[in-house]
Each structure stands twice: as structure tokens, then as C-alpha cells.
């Protein structure tokens, strides 16, 4: 892909996320920050001629540095092996093709947690690979990261039939796997994508619209930022701007923890 095509693609991506313009001019950045009245870093700027995205806050850390006391890759592989061709909850007999474990950097500072695999994910064996997944990739790239820099998982590892909501017994049975993934990866920040992930990780039943826009410490040095699920954003694109605001919070948290 040429630099020019990359720039066009990035501009379209930011436009979809509700960013109203990009400029390298310092006064534009100051105006945007003052108008929005937040303390998050200023909007991103496109490096002229470089075809890349620059973060005003500098590049946030992509992964934990140094040797972890536990080999996170090996620990995740051991967990995946332990899950196996899981039959622990009723979903194993309701048409799922495979367990969709999770994907990404085992040492990531940033983790995304969604609800459950859909049809595309069930077929591919990877979370967030359908249209909602493509939007999630754009959201990740909007804060200057790549999909492979973060870790992506779901509350439920198997596809509910017809994409129905997970049943409480399914959540309760599968939840320990997510908790173990979090314990292994030890991210600095978790983005809960949608109601199910936010409710589980915050032990709250408040609407996602009330939970988002704020940072929730959840113990272990982890800060949780709820936002809308990308599938919801596809149905309600007017809420993309809210998710962009949430992602600016995430970007600031990552820069702060560098
Ligand atoms: S949803 Fe979780 S607990 Fe249920 S069968 Fe799949 S992996 Fe096992």
C-alpha cells in the first residue's frame, strides 16, 4: 500500500470515529483541547508525507518490558490446553464450531474484553474478526497501536446460538478462563466492550452509558474503561464519538503508565 493510500485510509478511519479534522498546526490542537475540556492528550495528527499516525502524548508502551516472573506466552498456552475442547457449559452442545480463546500480545499493557464470539469468530477461531472486529481494529489504530500490540478476548469463549445473550450459567462457568487470562497478561488497562464485559468486570448492573467515560480501578493495578461494543457502534454510528472520547482516556492512561 502506498503512503498516500495509507493516509487516506487513516483519515477515513478518524472521520468514522467522529474526529472532525486533523492538522499539525499547534493552535488547532489547543483549540480542540480547550473546546473539549478534557485532560486527555490532544487529537492525533497525521505526519505529512510519512503516512503514519503520531500521538501527541508520544508512543504509549506497547507491551510490558523486562522479563515477567512467569512466561506469559507459556502460561496462556497452558491455559488454552487446559480448556481443550471444552464441554463445561451447555454451549458446547449448541452448535459452536470451536473454542475462541483470545488473540494478541501476551505481555500487552492494553486488553480488550468483549462478550462472545459471533459467526465469523466461530468460523475463524479468533475474536473480533467480522465487521465489528474490523471496527475494533480501527479503534485500536486510532490510538497509535496495532492489533498485535494488544490482547483481545471475550467473556464467553463459545458462540451462543443465533448470537443470543449468554446465559448466567454460561458466564459463571466460562468467567474463570477470562480471569486467568487477565492474571497472566497483567494489563495496565482493560477496555470493556459493551454491557456484558462491563457488568462482569465491575460487578455492576448500571447501563453502559453511565459506566463509560470514566476510569474504574478494579484491583491489581488495573484500570478499566468501559465503552460501547463495536457491534453496537455499527448499529448506532452516532455513538462513535463517545467511544473516541473513551479511547482518548485509554491513551492517556497508557502514556501515564509508561
Ligand atoms: S463457553 Fe466457556 S465454559 Fe462453555 S463450553 Fe465454551 S469454553 Fe467451555
Pocket of ligand 1 (CB under 6 A): 83, 86, 88-89, 91-92, 99, 156-158, 170, 173-174
Instruction: Give the SS3 label for residue 117.
Output: coil
- What tens digit of pLDDT does each residue of 8-25 get? 555 565 555 555 544 444
The yes or no reply on domain 72-256 and CATH 3.40.470.10 is yes
pLDDT at residue 58 tops 80: no
For residue 206, how far is its CA from the centre of ligand 1 (angstroms)? 26
For ligand 1, what atom is nearest to the CA of residue 177? 2
Cell triple for residue 256? 501515564
Whose CA is closest to atom 2 on ligand 1? 174
Instruction: Kindly report, residue by residue over 95-109, the tens digit of the pLDDT.
Output: 999 999 999 999 999
146-160 mean pLDDT: 97
Which atom from ligand 1 is nearest to the alpha carbon of 87? 5
pLDDT, tens only, 122-144: 999 999 999 999 999 999 999 99
Higher pLDDT, 66 or 97: 97
Burial of 33 (0-12, 13-18, 19+ CB in 10 A): middle
pTM for this entry:
0.78
Closest residue by Cα to atom 4, ligand 1, is: 89
Residue 58 grid coordinates: 508520544
Task: Kindly list the domain boundaries of the chain, sorted by start residue.
Answer: 3-54, 72-256
Average pLDDT over residues 242-248: 97
Give pLDDT, residue 17: 54
DSSP codes, 170-229? HHHHHHHHHHHHHHHH--SEEEEESHHHHHHHHT--S-HHHHTTS-EE-STT-EEEEE--
The pLDDT, as a whole number, for residue 258 is 79
Percent of the chain with pLDDT over 70: 73
pLDDT at 70: 58
- Cα of 179 from ligand 1 centre, angstroms: 14
Estimate to the nearest angstrom the gap between the alpha carbon of 50 and the chain centroid.
26
Out of 90, 170, 175, mutate this one to test ligand 1's pocket (max ligand atoms within 8 Å of CB): namely 170
The CA 159 to ligand 1 mean position distance, Å, reads 9
Amino acid at each position: 500500500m502506498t503512503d498516500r493510500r495509507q493516509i487516506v485510509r487513516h483519515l477515513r478511519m478518524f472521520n468514522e470515529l467522529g474526529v472532525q479534522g486533523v492538522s499539525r498546526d499547534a493552535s488547532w490542537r489547543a483549540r480542540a483541547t480547550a473546546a473539549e475540556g478534557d485532560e486527555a492528550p490532544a487529537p492525533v495528527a497525521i505526519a505529512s508525507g510519512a503516512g503514519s499516525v503520531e500521538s501527541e502524548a508520544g508512543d504509549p508502551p506497547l507491551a510490558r518490558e523486562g522479563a515477567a516472573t512467569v512466561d506469559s506466552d507459556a502460561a496462556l498456552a497452558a491455559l488454552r490446553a487446559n480448556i481443550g475442547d471444552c464441554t463445561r457449559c451447555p454451549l458446547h452442545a449448541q452448535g459452536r464450531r470451536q473454542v475462541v480463546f483470545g488473540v494478541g500480545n501476551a505481555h500487552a499493557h492494553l486488553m480488550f474484553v468483549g462478550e462472545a464470539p459471533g459467526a465469523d469468530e466461530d468460523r475463524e477461531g479468533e475474536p473480533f474478526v467480522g465487521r465489528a472486529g474490523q471496527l475494533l481494529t480501527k479503534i485500536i489504530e486510532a490510538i497509535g497501536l496495532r492489533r498485535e500490540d494488544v490482547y483481545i478476548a471475550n467473556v464467553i469463549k463459545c458462540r451462543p446460538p443465533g448470537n443470543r445473550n449468554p446465559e448466567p450459567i454460561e458466564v459463571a462457568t466460562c468467567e474463570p478462563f477470562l480471569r486467568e487470562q487477565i492474571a497472566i497478561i497483567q494489563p495496565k488497562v482493560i477496555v470493556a466492550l459493551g454491557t456484558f464485559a462491563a457488568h462482569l468486570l465491575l460487578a455492576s448492573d448500571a447501563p453502559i452509558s453511565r459506566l463509560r467515560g470514566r476510569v474504574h480501578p478494579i484491583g491489581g493495578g488495573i484500570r478499566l474503561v468501559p465503552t460501547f461494543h463495536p457491534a453496537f457502534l455499527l448499529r448506532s454510528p452516532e455513538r462513535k464519538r463517545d467511544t473516541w472520547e473513551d479511547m482518548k482516556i485509554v491513551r492517556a492512561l497508557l502514556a501515564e503508565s509508561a
